[in-house]
Structure 1
């Protein structure tokens, strides 16, 4: 009596990649470095984090933090099983310098990884964290700001992102700088300080004597102290005052409200440089200034819904977006909506 045996599975339905293949996603930001390792179905098997990894400002410490996060993520995992890797990096252009890239390569291979990593910009990672679609627009507005046009998951055009000295209009830095300028204007005109201006003064000169401010001639003394203090600090730290603007906005301060409104206008104009009103692809918003809890972000969403077609989305975890992109590098058929949902949500 013969036993009927099932036919073998057709070759074209077999998994093309080894079942043990892993992918790695990374997000190197100014304040944190995060790494995720996942299997080919998008299940996370390792995570690592360390301090800032922006290669522009402090490449040596950034590379060291990169290595620390890699080793933590790879603990208990065979790093040689990682067959695709996508790393999103703020300031990634610095990696074009051989000396900087050598430090990051040493951290990478020192963690036991053998595959060549693909470094891309934080704009592409932010877009991928917000949507699985291949085409669209993304606006990042945090400490700095930049907009990008994405086609086939690749960045093809940008607007702004010029840095605090030449651009970043509407960013956290811009809000902080304009808040200080409003305080200096009050000093110049001899006007009483408003809620925002007083809060900025308290944050930058917490030990100043209020009695000096009460005298008209004291304005010049405090103004000079303020200018010296601002110039003593790294310029980018002005972005910390963005929270002060938001707080004053919530308390009804007119100067703060005007700054928030102007920031939204500037960011809208930045997006308008690269996105047409007929574009119906997704528009992803990323960064603290463009966030759902930010008054600037709320104004942006209202304006974008009126001006642009297409869904307005919020970027999620950047490192998860990078990991999802790495799945697509491993095998394009793995860059599915379900895997995106599993990783990003």
Structure 2
């Protein structure tokens, strides 16, 4: 009696693994939108990116960028396998507006996703990207600034974060604004500009004629030009001048050094509103201004090590932190140190 044997598979065939549950992490920032899809062991199976996704600034464009990043990340992935999602959003409070929420929902369901997405603040995402510990504090200083107290991976209290008009002390915006104010003060006093002042003037009025200062009303002409340019641009662009401050600082400009020192002091004060000196939980520093390569960030680390107990850690990839939180949302047992290391490495 003959026995039928299965035909051998072609050498180049691929045996697909059984479908597994997936999670989705997102990071919607002012300059970029990033999405990560991962399995239950923290292995990344899809990534997507697009331009800024802050729902406060331009909700329609942000929602479109959100949808684009989702579609890219889900390429070759069945959206039905995504069973948990955590998305950090700068300006996420705008999603409480029905019209804005509807646009983001349209992008979400338009990508074929059916799981409920949990939108949280960027403070929680930044904290999770820096540590797997459930409790601690986080400071973000980039374009804006904000500090938060996290308990059991949830934000329970904040300090700062009031926006460019009412606060954001020590942020990139603050540094840029104070740099321009130092230039205007020099104009008022008809004093020569230092390195920082000249750099700010070049950034704002690249075509200005230095010889104009020799004229009787030269200071007034240039001052009015600076005021006009600054007021005709979106306020957030003031943060671009933070790089000018840092460059002048590194070259020994006294005004820039004073601004950097003051920015660090303001950020230390912000954290001090919500953290005691005896607290031994981690303190996570996030954002370009608070980064390890920034002079403000370097001053912060020295001061925090002297003033606070507990580890001072640097935030890493925010979207990976959100993805790790999504694993915990799917099953708390999956929010392990090993999965955190795998996602953030």
TM range (shorter): over 0.9
Classify the secondary structure of the residue corresponding to 2:240.
helix
The residue aligned with 1:115 is 115
The residue aligned with 1:9 is none
TM-score (structure 1 length as normaliser): 0.94
Structure 2 residue 188 is matched with structure 1 residue 218: no
**Cα distance, 1:236 vs structure 2:** 1.1
* Superposition RMSD in Å: 0.9
Matches within 5 A, 1:254-293: 254-293=254-293
Classify the secondary structure of the residue corresponding to 1:305.
helix
Structure 2 unaligned residues grouped into runs of 5+ = 1-17
8 Å contact from structure 1 (residues 19, 40) kept in 2: no
Distance 2:331 2:229 in 1: 53
Deviations 1:122-176 (A, max 9, x none): 0000000000000000000000000000000000000010000000000000000
| Aligned pairs, number | 328
The residue aligned with 1:71 is 71
Classify the secondary structure of the residue corresponding to 1:133.
coil
The residue aligned with 1:137 is 137
Distance 1:215 1:153 in 2: 61
Kindly report structure 1 stretches of 4+ aligned residues shifted beyond 4 Å: none
TM-score (structure 2 length as normaliser): 0.94
The residue aligned with 2:317 is 317
Classify the secondary structure of the residue corresponding to 1:158.
strand
The residue aligned with 1:206 is 206
Distance 2:341 2:92 in 1: 27
**Cα distance, 1:278 vs structure 2:** 0.8
Deviations 1:256-309 (A, max 9, x none): 000000000000000000000111000000000000000000000000000000
8 Å contact from structure 2 (residues 305, 312) kept in 1: yes
Deviations 1:216-247 (A, max 9, x none): 53111110111111111111111000000000
The residue aligned with 1:10 is none
8 Å contact from structure 2 (residues 301, 312) kept in 1: yes
Distance 2:148 2:141 in 1: 12
Distance 1:334 1:234 in 2: 43
Deviations 1:10-33 (A, max 9, x none): xxxxxxxx9610000000000000
Classify the secondary structure of the residue corresponding to 2:99.
helix
**Cα distance, 1:214 vs structure 2:** 3.7
Structure 2 residue 58 is matched with structure 1 residue 80: no
8 Å contact from structure 1 (residues 24, 326) kept in 2: yes
The residue aligned with 1:189 is 189
Deviations 1:32-72 (A, max 9, x none): 00000000000000000000000001000100000000000
Structure 1 unaligned residues grouped into runs of 5+ = 1-17
